[in-house]
Amino acid sequence: MPQLNPNPWLFTMIMSWLTFSLIIQPKLLSFTPTNTPSEKSSTNTKSPSWPWPWT
């Protein structure tokens, strides 16, 4: 069964994770978001409870 042979895929998987962890991830984390969350206070709306007929 070729799926159990890690020889061709293990190296590829390790190299791709190293590439992601060491090169791509720091570049992505350095970006600042353009839409920062506003400091608006949230309004809490209370909806009426449902009038269940069997209660």
Residue at 54 is within a domain: no
Residue at 6 is within a domain: yes
3-state SS of the chain is: CHHHCCHHHHHHHHHHHHHHHHHHHHHHHCCCCCCCCCCCCCCCCCCCCCCCCCC
Residue at 24 is within a domain: yes
Residue at 40 is within a domain: no
Domain region containing 6: 1-30
Confidence category of residue 14, pLDDT binned at 50, 70, 90: very high
pTM greater than 0.85:
no
pLDDT per residue over 39-48, tens digit each? 766 677 777 8
If one compares 51 and 37, the residue with the highest pLDDT of the two is 51
The token pair that represents 8 in the structure block: 């061709």
